């Protein structure tokens, strides 16, 4: 058996009973830390997911429930390799940066999208793609998503933002709106935000399989007076389907459609179709990822309500107050 061969190579004593291997170590965390390279070199990714480990101590006695509670070897490897991520989560070291959203008709700042950043012990930042990659593989999307929502509200209040605040959320991390969103609602009230000032932005729409569940979440937000935005519209069939089903207050047209739209007639046709559908439903259209004057001019000629992108400003810890 591969596990027994691995333990023998490390010169470790172990017992085997009814197919279960018992290994005694003085400190589990140190054991995994010291042997992380050997483990990674000895087992492939599938094996690391298939090998179940239960740590027995004074508080956790081994019984049939222990087998059900066992975690994969990969999860213990993650505890070592993703230490920075766990430090950020455990210390709630999340802050928010702000990117302005422009009302193109009045040329004023309509609001800001809040973008989460993890803060390491040395002050350097960890960006959302890395944070959510680590949280996904450690089943911590719920906690990270909640921390990001709370950070967005707290940081916006600290920066005295009075325009609309766009807050991203992952619907697959919310299983019961009344329970999962109560802390977000608590902070919104405590910080004296007008609900109509907050726009909850649905991200990762391609992962949403249960649209009924998503509708329940959005109805919960709407009943409280918040607005809803649908992100990455036009990216695929799923987002178009949700546009029809959910009728959000705002749609954010995917940046892949906006990029070089002035040079691409197909993109212009897709954008025009999205704009017309939205206007028929009294939905505001936000062009996301505008980086050049030519892209801006093109979407203005077709029709647009709000714009966002590097052409105006990059995300920053201190919100830009004027365009």
- Residue 323 belongs to a domain: no
- Residue 38 belongs to a domain: yes
- Residue 321 belongs to a domain: no
Domain housing 300: 92-308
Same domain, 124 and 206: yes
Domain of 284, CATH number, reads 3.20.20.450
Same domain, 97 and 76: no
- CB contact set of 98 (below 8 Å; sequence gap of 6+): 112, 113, 114, 115, 155, 156, 159, 161, 315, 316, 317, 318, 319, 320
Count of other CB atoms within 10 angstroms of residue 56? 12
Tally of structural domains, the chain: 2
Phi, psi dihedrals of residue 72, rounded to the nearest 5°: -70, 155
Same domain, 27 and 102: no
- Residue 214 belongs to a domain: yes
Which structure tokens are listed for 205? 């729409």
Same domain, 99 and 73: no
Same domain, 49 and 181: no
| Cα first-last separation, the chain | 66
Domain boundary at 32, 51, 81, which? 81
pLDDT tens digits for the chain (323 residues)?
A: 788 888 888 888 888 887 788 888 888 888 888 889 999 999 998 988 888 888 776 565 555 555 566 788 888 899 889 999 999 999 999 999 999 999 999 999 999 999 999 999 999 999 999 999 999 889 888 899 899 999 999 999 999 999 999 999 887 777 677 676 788 888 888 999 999 999 999 876 555 667 787 888 888 888 889 999 988 887 765 567 777 778 899 999 999 999 999 999 999 999 999 999 999 999 999 999 999 999 999 999 999 999 999 999 999 999 999 88
Same domain, 263 and 170: yes
Helix (H, G, I), strand (E, B) or coil at 95: strand
Same domain, 41 and 102: no
Helix (H, G, I), strand (E, B) or coil at 198: strand
- CB contact set of 297 (below 8 Å; sequence gap of 6+): 262
Domain boundary at 81, 116, 140, which? 81
Same domain, 153 and 232: yes
Domain boundary at 34, 53, 81, which? 81
């Amino acid at each position: 058996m591969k596990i027994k061969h691995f333990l023998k190579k490390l010169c470790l004593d172990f017992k085997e009973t009814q197919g279960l291997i018992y290994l005694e170590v003085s400190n589990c965390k140190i054991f995994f830390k010291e042997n992380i390279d050997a483990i990674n070199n000895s087992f492939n990714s599938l094996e690391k997911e298939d090998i179940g480990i239960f740590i027995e101590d004074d508080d956790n006695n081994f019984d049939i429930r222990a087998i059900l509670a066992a975690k994969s070897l990969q999860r213990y490897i993650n505890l070592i390799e993703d230490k920075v991520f766990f430090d950020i989560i455990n210390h709630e070291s999340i802050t928010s940066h702000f990117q302005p959203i422009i009302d193109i008709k009045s040329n004023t700042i309509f609001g800001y999208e809040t973008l989460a950043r993890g803060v390491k012990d040395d002050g350097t930042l960890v960006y959302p793609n890395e944070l959510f990659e680590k949280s996904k593989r450690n089943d911590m999307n719920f906690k990270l998503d909640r921390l990001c929502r709370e950070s967005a509200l707290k940081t916006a209040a600290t920066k005295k933002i009075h325009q609309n605040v766009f807050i991203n959320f992952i619907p697959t991390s919310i299983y019961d709106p009344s329970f999962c969103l109560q802390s977000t609602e608590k902070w919104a009230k405590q910080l004296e935000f007008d609900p109509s000032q907050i726009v909850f932005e649905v991200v990762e729409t391609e992962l949403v399989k249960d649209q009924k569940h998503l509708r329940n979440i959005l109805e919960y937000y709407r009943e409280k007076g918040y607005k809803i935005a649908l992100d990455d519209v036009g990216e695929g069939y799923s987002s178009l389907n949700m546009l029809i089903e959910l009728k959000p207050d705002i749609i954010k047209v995917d940046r892949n459609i906006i990029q070089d739209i002035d040079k691409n007639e197909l993109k212009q046709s897709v954008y025009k179709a999205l704009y017309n559908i939205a206007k028929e439903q009294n939905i505001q259209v936000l062009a996301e990822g505008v980086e050049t004057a030519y892209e801006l001019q093109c979407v203005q000629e077709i029709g647009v309500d709000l714009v966002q992108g590097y052409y105006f400003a990059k995300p920053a810890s201190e919100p830009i107050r004027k365009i």
